[in-house]
Amino acid sequence: MIEFIGAAVQSDDDRRTLLHPLTLSLAERRVSVIGANGSGKSTLLRLVNGLRLPSQGRVEVLGQDTRKAGGAVRRSVGFVFTDPLSQLVMPTGREDVELSLRTRKLPAAERRLRAGEVLRRFGLEHLADRSIYDLSGGERQILALAVVLAVEPRILLADEPTTLLDLRNDTVVRALLAGLRQQVVFTTHNLDFAREAERTLVIDGGRVVFDGTPDDAVACYRALSTQPDGGPAGDGHLLP
Amino acid sequence: MRGFGSTLGLYRPGEGLLYRWPLAPKAAASLGCAIAVVGWGSVPTTSTVLALALAGLLIGARQSVLQTVRMLLPAAPVLGILALHQGLSQGWVQAFVVVGGIAGCLLAARSVTLTTPLQVLLDGTASLARPFRRLGADPERFALALSIMLRSIPYLAGLFVDVREAARARGLERSPRVAVTPLVLGAVAYAHRTGEALAARGLGEHDEGDDRGQDHERVVG
Amino acid sequence: MQPTEKTSPGPVVDGRPSSRKRWDTTDLSLVAVFAALIAALAIVPGIPVGPLGVPITLQTLGVMLTGVVLGPGRGTAAVLLYLAAGLIGLPVFSGFSGGFGVLAGPSAGYLIAFPPAALVAGLLARAVLRRAARFRTVLLFLACVVASLSTIHPLGVAGLMVNADLSLRDAVLVDAAYLPGDIVKNVLAALLAVSVHRAFPRLLARPRA
């Protein structure tokens, strides 16, 4: 359960509003967020695990305030970035998974065992000791998912997880995400992918301009993108 | 520069006494060679260091003579000039003391990196920071910083190659500013992304008091 | 580079106020990435400069740049991390393959001078960026010159005298050969630093309480 309570974000120099005050709660298992580049999608995601703190209002995740308990929130919320290379820290996949497990304060032997299991579960065992630079884009993104899911977060955030992938890997990563038990909130420019959610938010200029079913949301987003200064069209309920 | 990360470790699997030795005595011996050469430069010192280093590589690590000579290639130009200068100005004995000493130290150091896997080196380094914990040193963060540094080198070297190619394509290859600016901006942006990714994974942060103090685990896996 | 829609490059990474004395994860990764940057600059082939195309290696550029971009604290830490990596045997030093052996080499003095060089350059750069609104490039260039003349060259000469057994006169002569390249690198460091601080204004400008 993710709750935004009047949460707004100003830019660092305080000149622009990146996200206007937002109040809504997300309980659906799959939530997608769509919108143009720079509309505030990433800011919204980063609010959820406290990478960004609201300049007014607050955000609560599983009942915990991201400002007061940032560390605890990040321990239960995983985050997958667009570019896996900015996410993977260690030279090989095995070491990176072990690094993730380090936050769980396990003894080294236990960590090694668990890392092996995780890699097996994601079909990455044969690549575990290769340099991450020798992996393909798709393999890297799956590895990035594996290192995040290794610590079994209760919520997963994914910021355009398929943008850098080719069609085949796009399918693999989407199938992987679809099979997760966790609540997943993701941003994407791929409208088919967005439709796989149960609920979709459309963001424009730092405001959530539509909140409803994926099909209506996609229609709204299309209308927004084709008529630059016309208001959003579509049937769902429009937010102020 | 693909795959550069795996070549960063200079470890080459092999057999021999040095491979079975733990890191600490090897590192201590290598450091000892450097201190001896710097502190007591003389014919006996240089002879001893050279003999030790050669014995270590040829017998302890079972390297061939050719392999051993090749290890000095990167430093050869500097050593050659220095040998010539010393020989002509102060005599060939002094040239042997100075250049032989340096070569011995380089070989001794190489015998350590040759026979020690990268991970063992890194673990050893992190554990060196452990006694300084009371002074505020954090071995875990040190080890993490070292890892991030290692995985960033191939990224940056690759970026550098790309940037230089792009500059060449625009006919700007003679301008170092054009060649380096995107590299440095890229490095800062990359550091911010990595910092954010670490925070998102809950790594490298100071714990918020809830589970500090019972940190009983080993520093590096 | 991915087209990122991240709107703030500033280190707002974790929730605590920036006046906090301990470094956050962005500081940690800046230190690590700049240590890597020095290494990358030290090991890539030099760039041909000017009509003659004489290559200059960029190791000292990396050190200066680290000081003026990250400031004294993080800058010095990054250089120390770089040295630590080289001393344990990673091949990150120009020309030599790393390890304790370099301590006996002719360039040992230069290596030892790197952390104080980054410290001095960082202290001066921080003062420039906080106080001066104009002539920043020139002032940052001067900061680099002061740092390199007060640390790198004296310690470099000392290293040449001790390790290469050169007389003071010879050591100064050898060292002087690096001066023109150094001036070029310091100009470059200043230009780059201005670009970086324009692109990432919060990097050094915020006062650390």
The residue to which tokens 């539509």 are assigned:
A210
Measured CA to CA, the distance from residue A31 to residue A46 in angstroms comes to 15
| Low-confidence winner among A63-67, C47-51, C136-140 (lowest mean pLDDT) | C47-51
* Residue B109 sits in the same domain as residue B136: no
Question: Which of the residues B184, B206, B220 would you substitute to probe the C interface, choosing the one with the greatest number of C C-beta atoms within 10 Å?
Answer: B184
Alpha carbon of A110: minimum distance to chain B alpha carbons (Å): 10
What is the ipTM score, two decimals? Answer: 0.81
Domains with residue ranges and CATH for chain C: 25-42+51-204 (1.10.1760.20)
Mean predicted confidence (pLDDT) in C146-158: 92
Residue C16: both structure tokens together: 């605590």
Instruction: Please provide the DSSP assignment of B101-112 as one string.
Output: HHHHHHHHHHHH
Nearest CB among C40, C65, C88 relative to B156 is that of C40
Give whole-number Cα distances, A214 to A1, A34, A232, C72, in Å: 19, 10, 15, 51
- Chain A residue closest to C13 (CA)? A51
Nearest CB among B198, B202, B217 relative to A71 is that of B202
Give whole-number Cα distances, C20 to B67, B133, C16, C27, in Å: 52, 20, 7, 12
Q: Is the pLDDT of residue A231 over 80?
A: no
pLDDT tens-place string over residues B191-221: 998 898 888 888 866 554 433 333 333 333 2
Among B116, B151, B166, identify where a domain stops: B116
Domain assignment of residue B220, yes or no:
no
* Residue B57 sits in the same domain as residue B82: yes
Domain assignment of residue B215, yes or no:
no
Domain assignment of residue B212, yes or no:
no
Domain assignment of residue B188, yes or no:
yes
More confident residue, A167 or B219: A167
**B42 CB within 8 Å of a chain C CB:** no
Top-confidence range, A120-134, B102-116, C19-33, C60-74 = C60-74
Top-confidence range, B103-107, B159-163, C45-49 = B103-107
Q: Is the pLDDT of residue A52 over 80?
A: yes
- The Cα angle at residue C127 between residues C124 and C130, in degrees rounded to 5: 150
A34 contacts A189 by C-beta, under 8 angstroms: yes
Nearest CB among B75, B141, B176 relative to C95 is that of B75
Size of interface A-B (CB pairs under 8 A): 101
Domain assignment of residue B209, yes or no:
no
Give the percent of chain A with pLDDT over 90: 54
* pLDDT band with cut points at 50, 70 and 90 for residue C32: very high
Q: Amino acid identity of B16?
A: G
Mean predicted confidence (pLDDT) in A102-112: 80
Collect all residues with Cβ–Cβ distance below 8 Å to A50 and sequence separation of at least 6: A59, A66, A67, A70, A73, A74, C14, C15
Q: How high is the pLDDT of residue A194?
A: 94
Nearest CB among C15, C201, C202 relative to A70 is that of C15
H or E element in which residue A47 lies: helix A41-48
Query: What residues make up the domain containing B180?
Result: 127-200
Q: Is B213 exposed, middle or buried (0-12, 13-18, 19+ CB in 10 A)?
A: exposed
| Low-confidence winner among A84-98, B57-71, C150-164 (lowest mean pLDDT) | A84-98
* Residue B145 sits in the same domain as residue B76: no
Give the percent of chain A with pLDDT over 70: 94
Q: How high is the pLDDT of residue C175?
A: 83
Q: Is the pLDDT of residue C66 over 90?
A: yes
- The Cα angle at residue A17 between residues A12 and A19, in degrees rounded to 5: 105
Q: Do C25 and B199 touch (CB under 8 A)?
A: yes
* Residue B13 sits in the same domain as residue B107: yes
* Residue B30 sits in the same domain as residue B104: yes
Alpha carbon of B101: minimum distance to chain A alpha carbons (Å): 35
Domain assignment of residue B108, yes or no:
yes
* Residue B8 sits in the same domain as residue B111: yes
Measured CA to CA, the distance from residue A54 to residue A40 in angstroms comes to 13
Top-confidence range, C80-89, C142-151, C155-164 = C142-151
Q: How high is the pLDDT of residue C7?
A: 37
B219 contacts C66 by C-beta, under 8 angstroms: no
Nearest CB among A74, A86, A91 relative to B190 is that of A86
Chain B contact set for A102 (CB, 8 A): 140, 203, 217, 221
Q: Is the pLDDT of residue C142 over 90?
A: yes
C-alpha C46 chain-centroid distance: 16
Give the percent of chain C with pLDDT over 90: 36
The residue to which tokens 């104009």 are assigned:
C134
Among B71, B93, B116, identify where a domain stops: B116
pLDDT tens-place string over residues B105-135: 889 988 988 888 877 887 788 787 777 776 6
* Residue B106 sits in the same domain as residue B175: no
- Average pLDDT over all residues of chain A: 88
Measured CA to CA, the distance from residue B101 to residue B48 in angstroms comes to 9
Domains with residue ranges and CATH for chain A: 1-24+39-68 (no CATH), 81-197 (3.40.50.300), 200-240 (no CATH)
Question: Which of the residues B151, B198, B208, B218 would you substitute to probe the A interface, choosing the one with the greatest number of A C-beta atoms within 10 Å?
Answer: B151
Mean predicted confidence (pLDDT) in A56-84: 90
Q: Is the pLDDT of residue A60 over 90?
A: yes
Q: Is A109 exposed, middle or buried (0-12, 13-18, 19+ CB in 10 A)?
A: exposed
Measured CA to CA, the distance from residue B143 to residue A112 in angstroms comes to 18
Collect all residues with Cβ–Cβ distance below 8 Å to A46 and sequence separation of at least 6: A52
Domain assignment of residue B133, yes or no:
yes
B neighbour chains, 3+ CB pairs within 8 Å: A, C
* Residue B95 sits in the same domain as residue B9: yes
Measured CA to CA, the distance from residue B65 to residue B54 in angstroms comes to 9
* Residue B33 sits in the same domain as residue B52: yes
- Chain B residue closest to A96 (CA)? B147
Mean predicted confidence (pLDDT) in A12-26: 89
Question: Which of the residues B201, B208, B216 would you substitute to probe the A interface, choosing the one with the greatest number of A C-beta atoms within 10 Å?
Answer: B201
Q: Is the pLDDT of residue C203 over 50?
A: yes
Give the percent of chain C with pLDDT over 70: 79
Among B116, B148, B179, identify where a domain stops: B116
**A125 CB within 8 Å of a chain B CB:** no
* Residue B53 sits in the same domain as residue B32: yes
* Residue B87 sits in the same domain as residue B156: no
Q: Is the pLDDT of residue C114 over 50?
A: yes
* pLDDT band with cut points at 50, 70 and 90 for residue B4: very low
Give whole-number Cα distances, A75 to A127, C28, C63, in Å: 26, 19, 36
Residues forming beta bridges with residue A207, ordered by sequence position:
A204
Residue A104: both structure tokens together: 């769980």
Structural domains counted in chain B? 2
Give whole-number Cα distances, B84 to B72, B170, B188, C179, in Å: 17, 43, 44, 23
Q: How high is the pLDDT of residue B172?
A: 66
- The Cα angle at residue B181 between residues B176 and B183, in degrees rounded to 5: 105
A103 contacts A63 by C-beta, under 8 angstroms: no
* Residue B66 sits in the same domain as residue B11: yes
Q: Is C30 helix (H, G, I), strand (E, B) or coil?
A: helix
- Average pLDDT over all residues of chain B: 79
Q: How high is the pLDDT of residue C106?
A: 82
* pLDDT band with cut points at 50, 70 and 90 for residue C80: very high
Q: Do C6 and A42 touch (CB under 8 A)?
A: yes
Collect all residues with Cβ–Cβ distance below 8 Å to B41 and sequence separation of at least 6: B97, B98, B101, C165
Could you tell me which of B166, B68, B45 has the C-alpha nearest to residue B114?
B68
Q: How high is the pLDDT of residue B126?
A: 78
